[in-house]
Amino acid sequence: MKTVQIACFALFSTLSLSCQNAQHTDKTSTTHHSTSPTSAKTMKKHQYKDAHTGMVVYSKQYPSDWKVVSMASYKYDKALPGFSYQIQGPGGVKAFNSMHEAYTYFDNQELNRTMGTYGMQIRPIPQISALMQREFFPKMQSQGFKYLGEEMATDKKQFIIQKLRKQGLSNVDLEVLTTKWTNDKGQKALVDLALIKFYSPDPYGGQMTSWVYGADYLVADSGHLDTAYGALNTALRSEAENPEWARYKNLLMQRRQQQSAVDHQRRMQASQAQFQSHQQYMKGQYAASDARHNAYMQRLRGTDGSDAGHQGFINNIRDEETVNHPNGQQYQVEGYAKNYWMDSEGNYIKSDDLFYSPNGDINLNNKEWTKLERNR
């Protein structure tokens, strides 16, 4: 089951509909496209890099007057990154994505209950419209936006489905829904929600569905939204995977599949106590996330006079907050815990227990942890 989830996460991370921590800024190479919605603009390449190996995962073409910052995320996989991005450009253009969320659901309800007790994130598969209304409507409305309507992004869906087919993935279903918004400041907004379902057999003869969702946000002054949206779709279609990364990823997946087969045989022979211990280990002792992105924060704060409000808007949408380290650096973390602690490698722990301290915890390899202050 772990192999299926990893494959699903890796699949989602390769799509531009995706999801912190090593900064990559715009590259200087430029090209000129005469047939795209941004035909009057010079385009430049932005590279999305793996923070661990330094390899380029893929690159995209954006308008040269856009500022693009991306971060590798290892929320679900410590080796295969997804990416979050933030974009600012003329015409009040602001674009960013939400960190993707992943869940599993079995058609066997007893298995759902059992695996839930072992820490697996179990959640029924929703309709995409219901997911949009439940997860994203409140966020947009809290920022003063009014809902205008929705449409199924069929062109984008077909393009991504073709990409999946080329990768030999036929047991994947994809839905993309776009909602339109406006506010009293003369701004327009679009929210693209992608829902991917990855089907596979469970160990007991039933079906397991690993499903992942994430959203892309675009805000622009009235009159600039369509052009900006066209530029983002051009960027989607310009995505070029690095062949070196593709070879690395395929080799890694092959090794994991081989290890998964070995682990499966061991689990079948293990006692219930051993199995539960393994699941608790996989669940982890803390919500660790690489947070080495102070340079990224500095880049965002140095863009224009409205950066504080811009970052606050994104924090509210992403359910994140900014914390301060005693060394003067700031970091983005998942909100909204009462306490945050960070080690020397940039991993952090969040806790609602006011009396908890990770220092001296043998389950955390006796690392030294520094308490962070919330940026209220």
pLDDT means per 10 residues, the chain with 376 residues, are: 47 44 42 43 92 94 96 85 93 92 92 88 95 95 96 76 74 91 96 91 87 94 94 92 93 83 60 44 38 44 53 70 86 82 82 77 73 81
Residue with tokens 């007991």: 204
> What residue type is assigned to position 24 of the chain?
H
Which residues, listed in sequence order, are joined to residue 177 by a DSSP beta bridge? 152, 193
The span from the CA of 230 to the CA of 234, in Å, is 6
Per-residue model confidence (pLDDT) at position 359: 83
Per-residue model confidence (pLDDT) at position 205: 84
Angle separating helix axes 154-166 and 225-238, nearest 10 degrees: 10
DSSP secondary structure string, 96-133? EEPPPEEEEEES-HHHHHHHHHTT--B-PPPPHHHHHH
Per-residue model confidence (pLDDT) at position 204: 80
Per-residue model confidence (pLDDT) at position 187: 96
Per-residue model confidence (pLDDT) at position 268: 57
Encoded tokens for 186: 């003369």
Per-residue model confidence (pLDDT) at position 76: 80
Per-residue model confidence (pLDDT) at position 197: 92
Cis before 336 (ω within 30): yes
As to burial, measured by CB atoms within 10 angstroms (0-12 exposed, 13-18 middle, 19+ buried), residue 159 is: middle
Encoded tokens for 123: 């959640």
The span from the CA of 248 to the CA of 261, in Å, is 20
The span from the CA of 294 to the CA of 22, in Å, is 9
The span from the CA of 185 to the CA of 180, in Å, is 15
Q: Judge whether 106 and 115 are in contact, CB under 8 Å.
A: yes
Per-residue model confidence (pLDDT) at position 228: 95
> What residue type is assigned to position 12 of the chain?
F
Angle separating helix axes 243-269 and 2-13, nearest 10 degrees: 160
3-state class (DSSP) for residue 296: helix
Write the pLDDT tens digit of every residue in 63-112.
Answer: 999 999 999 988 888 888 889 999 999 999 999 998 789 999 999 999 99
Per-residue model confidence (pLDDT) at position 307: 58
- Structural domain spans, the chain: 2-251, 295-309+322-374
Task: Say whether pTM exceeds 0.95.
Answer: no
Q: Which residues contact 298 (CB under 8 A, 6 or more apart)?
A: none
Compute the chain's Rg from CA coordinates: 21
Residues shown for the chain: 376
Per-residue model confidence (pLDDT) at position 275: 43
Per-residue model confidence (pLDDT) at position 376: 64
Residue with tokens 């200087």: 28
Give, in order, the Cα–Cα distances in Å from 335 to each of 283, 321, 323, 349. Answer: 19, 5, 10, 11
Residue with tokens 């890694």: 252
Encoded tokens for 249: 């990823």
Residue with tokens 């006079």: 305
Q: Which residues contact 116 (CB under 8 A, 6 or more apart)?
A: 122
Write the pLDDT tens digit of every residue in 10-27.
Answer: 455 545 433 333 344 444
The span from the CA of 180 to the CA of 190, in Å, is 5
Per-residue model confidence (pLDDT) at position 355: 72
Half-sphere exposure of 146 toward its Cβ, with a 13 Å CA cutoff? Answer: 7
Encoded tokens for 160: 């991504």
